[in-house]
Each structure stands twice: as structure tokens, then as C-alpha cells.
Amino acid sequence: MRVSCGTDRASDHHDVALVDHDGDLVARARIGDDAAGLQQLLALLTEHGDSEDSPIPVAIETSRGLLVACLRATRRPVFAINPMAASRYRDRHAVARKKSDHLDAMVLANILRTDRAAHRPLPDDSELAQAIAVLARAQQDAVWDRTQAGNKLRSHLREYFPGFLAAFQHTREGLCSPVARVILAAAPTPAHAAKLTRAQLRSLLKKAGRQRGIEAEADRLREAFQLPQMRQLPQVEQAMGHQALALLRQLEAACTSADDLTAAAVTSFDTHPDAEIITSLPGLGSLTGARVLAEIGDDRSRFTDAKGLKAFAGAAPVTRASGKSLAVMARRVKNQRLAAVGYVWAVSALSSPGARAHYDRRREAGDRHTAAQRHLFNRLLGCLHHCLTQRVRYDETTAFPPPESTDLPAAA
């Protein structure tokens, strides 16, 4: 009897349903979100034919959590079903649109019973790859939080202290730079900033870690803070300065988190066996390489060919055809994190002559900048898939053969 298991998760419990190959319910249970609940689930699976040689597959609407981690540790195939897909399947079993946790568990089990081939189990990534995924995703979240905190502070400063924004608009990091944060903490209002002496500015610059050009930078900042500007009323300005300090503390925390997670992600990535191959590609350093590895993992059976990887990253287009209508569009449903690092990767890879020539050809063919970037990202993903499956380092002449050489095989 072929059995499939569906698990509908909740915050403190999970509903489990087991169905056979005919769709009949053979077992149901509600387990706790703890070790006892896991043991109850494993015992239920064993009772209905689960074994090491023929494990019962489990469907659940998430790829994270302790329950999923423990099920993956038992080498049992776990299928993370998209909640939107599960919602569409529910209409096949409940025309009246009723909903319950038990019904959702049965729906998940029936998804595996009828359409298991259309879904993929979670990849069998190594422990190190899973750890890198945690760190890289957390670092990316911290960077987004830092950007959001910086935008909030910038918007607030624009309302009462535009001179500070003008003083640091030329710096690459802007308000996130250590110098800007240290000076704003010492002088959160135009009145405080105008009173700063050259000696105080030099001291603040050294405190922020600046080592060169201190005298010139102190003079420039003093002149910038002395320039006339529109001001709020004194008490209002003071209150807005207090708010700026509160927003600055949020920015400080976000910057510290991003820096710490960057160091941890890079350290872990550099110890991975695939790190040397991944960083051999143009435009990929340790941090961007960690982000790429975090999303594709190190289970090489996950993507049987480069097309699957490209579709997963959103680099491959989608064709919509119906009758005489035919449209080729950019893919919207994709791994957003891998797509985000893909554009950074494509821009950084332009330092490679072959990648630059490929980008220029796409631009000459009529592609806009974003489309040409996406096309280059698509090509680089093919190179990455080839290098990882063949265990070879990136070679420029193989990936982008010269126009006069037509006998060289492409890397993807």
C-alpha cells in the first residue's frame, strides 16, 4: 500500500493525515510542536509502512522550522508545497470552499498521491551549505534593514537638517558611513553642528576611524555646517534632533548586524569545497558567492540541467502562447534572493572582456540595460552550472569564445 503524508502546520501543533494510493484516509493525528510530537509522527509513519529503504514522503507548506529540519535529518523526502498551490488543490476536494486544518493536511497528502512528479523534494544539501544559507540570507535581510533605516533617517533629516545631507552626499556610503553616524550622534541639530570647532571635528573623524585627510575633511565639514539654511523653530528643531538620534540608533544596529553577518557568511563560505569554483567566475566574490550558494545549495541533483537553474533564478524568459498570440516575457515567479544578487553579479562581471562583449552585443541588438543584464546573468548561470557539475574552474575563452574561433565548445 503506497502511503503519502500531509502535514498542516500551526504555531503550537500540526495536523497529520495519511492517505493510500486510492485516496482513502488511513490515519490522522494532531501532534505537538515538540520532540514528543515528532516521535508521535515517526511512530505513525512506521506503523503504516515507513522504512529506511522505502520512506513515506511528507508534504508541508514550508521549508523551514524544527519539524522540517528533523524530518530532513531522517533522510525522508520532504516536499515544501507553495501555499498558493495548496489553496488551488483545496478546491478539488471542497467545492463549498470549507476549510479546516485536517482538510488542509489531507489536501497536502493528496498532492503527493496524484502529482508527486510535478513537485520537487527539498534538496539534500550538506550541513555547511545549510549554515551558509542561514548566514547569507540573514546578511541580505540586514542589508535591506540597513537601507530602510537609512532611508527613514534621510527623510527625517530632510525636514529640518538638509545641510547634513549635503555635507555627506558625495560619500559612497552616505549616512551609513561611520563618519556620518559619529558626527550626527554628536551634533543632531543644525545649531549643534554650527558650534563644532575644527578640533572637535578632527576628534570625531579619528573616532570614526578616519586616518587620512583629516585636516582637509574637518575644514570641509566646518564650512558645510556654517552655510545658511532654512531652520525649524528652536524647540521643534530640538525635538526633531531627539527623533533623529532614535532613528540613528536603529541605523547603528542595522549596520552592526550587517557587518557581523557579512564576516560570518564569508568565513563559512570560504571553507566550502565549492567556494574556489564559484569565486573563479567573474563578478563573484566571497559574499556574493555565499548568497548564490545559499540559494542553489550543493546538492547537484537538484538541477539536472542549466535550464532548471536559470528558470529558478528568473533569468530564463516565459513564453505565453495561445492561438495566434505569442508573447515572451520576463519571469516574475522566481527565487527573489537569487535574482537580486544576479543583477549585482552581472554588473560586477562587466570587468570581464567576454562578459562585457556579450552585454554590448545585447545592447546593440536593442535590449535595455536591465534586459541585457538579465541575459548576461542567464549566460553566467549556465557557466556556473557547467563548472559545478564538471568540477572545473571558470575559463574565459571557453565561456565566451572569440568571434573568430568557432570550434571552441561553450561552457553552457
Give the pLDDT band of residue 304 (cuts 50, 70, 90). confident
Give residue 117's pLDDT band: very low, low, confident or very high (50, 70, 90). Answer: confident
Q: With a cut of 90, say whether residue 405 has pLDDT above it.
A: no
Place 412 in a pLDDT band, splitting at 50, 70 and 90. very low
Report pLDDT digits (tens) over 34-72.
899 899 999 999 888 888 888 899 999 888 888 899 988
- Per-residue pLDDT, averaged over 372-385, amounts to 94
Q: What is the pTM of this model?
A: 0.85
Decide if domain 4-122 falls under CATH 3.30.420.10. yes
The residue among 112, 94, 84 whose CA lies nearest residue 6 is 112
pLDDT of amino acid 404: 65
Share of the chain above pLDDT 70, in %: 97
Tens of pLDDT, residue by residue over 152-173, are 999 999 999 999 999 988 888 8
More confident residue, 267 or 119: 267
142 Rama sector, left if φ>0, alpha if ψ -120 to 50, beta otherwise = alpha
Tell me what pLDDT residue 152 has: 96
Q: Kindly state the average pLDDT of the residues 179-198.
A: 93
CA-to-CA separations, 275 to 266, 297, 340, 349, 393, in angstroms, rounded: 10, 12, 20, 17, 10
What DSSP assignment string belongs to 217-262? HHHHHHHHHHS------HHHHHHHHHHHHHHHHHHHHHHHHHHHHH
